[in-house]
Structure 1
């Protein structure tokens, strides 16, 4: 069952909205610039993603107003299908990537999930953002009967504690934080 989902952007899509290179989004978050507050993003599998509504509004919140490319905005909405435009992280339903899914099912390795995805047994991602697939948590949970029916050895048992943590916004397992790299790693973003 497909649900309406919020329109989202990753680094590449955020940058495209403003006609800059993806690395510029990271620079906007750097401690030396602090134009873009990292707290405005939701973290999924260790990567930041933003609601499209916030990404569009961002350009009006800076000292130097940045204009959104309306064509890119329309293309992103078209690529993501039917949806709605969220503005804040707390408006978002639970979104998961591969790291969270591994925890939901207590899978022995990432390879188990990768095999299910590559063979088409796992549901298609709700988003493909900046090269990464993301799912609504409910999309994943709705697939459990089919996953169990086609499984050879994995039970596809759901860890209800992990699901509850994801739903309540208190998940702290793998993928819940961004691992900072580069010269700002010691300063922390």
Structure 2
């Protein structure tokens, strides 16, 4: 039986919960404000994502109370389908994006994965958050046989060390860190 996926939010969804622009989430994360601790997020393909339970509760933890928009929360849950509401990142199963998938299969280029996704040979994403597709690691691994059968030239061999690191939370390859941009580069968000 397949495990239900947890509800997640990216920057855009987090901002929508509080009726602010997505850039505001970045401001909450900024070293000058520190209203939102970066450690509350998981990083997938170089982007932060939060469990919906944490994001919906965030407004009650700030010095200035922020009211969550319940309708937006209900819409996010409906869009993500059947799942469950996690509160902490360590409650989440392994989640991957395109950068991690490229490492799992040692694909020669991102174009190989993009083509496989575009032609419908890759498993359907589990989430589309802030414009980025994400998958449960198990969704990707369950599709390995089908990927091999449909392949013309790629072997779709998995790297067990990368998979083990993703499962136990020690993955430190491409996509495991957020690349800080702008004036906060030196401060290391």
Please give the root-mean-square deviation of Cα atoms over the aligned residues, in Å.
0.8
Alignment correspondent of 1:18: 18
Query: Structure 1 CA distance, aligned partners of 2:57 and 2:48?
Result: 17
Displacement of 1:55 after TM fit? 0.1
8 Å contact 1:45–1:99 — kept in the other structure?
yes
Query: Structure 1 CA distance, aligned partners of 2:126 and 2:40?
Result: 21
Q: TM-score, normalised by structure 1?
A: 0.99
Query: Structure 1 CA distance, aligned partners of 2:158 and 2:184?
Result: 37
8 Å contact 1:53–1:85 — kept in the other structure?
yes
Alignment correspondent of 1:141: 141
Alignment correspondent of 1:49: 49
Q: Deviations over 1:14-52 (max 9, x none)?
A: 000000000000000101110000010000000000000
Q: Which structure 2 residues correspond to residues 1-189 of structure 1 after superposition, within 5 A?
A: 3-189=3-189
8 Å contact 1:2–1:139 — kept in the other structure?
no
Segments of structure 1 that go 5 or more residues without pairing to the other structure are none
Query: Structure 1 CA distance, aligned partners of 2:151 and 2:30?
Result: 45
Query: Secondary structure of the equivalent of 1:149?
Result: helix
Displacement of 1:108 after TM fit? 0.5
Q: TM-score, normalised by structure 2?
A: 0.99
Query: Structure 2 CA distance, aligned partners of 1:169 and 1:118?
Result: 29
Matched residue pairs, number? Answer: 189
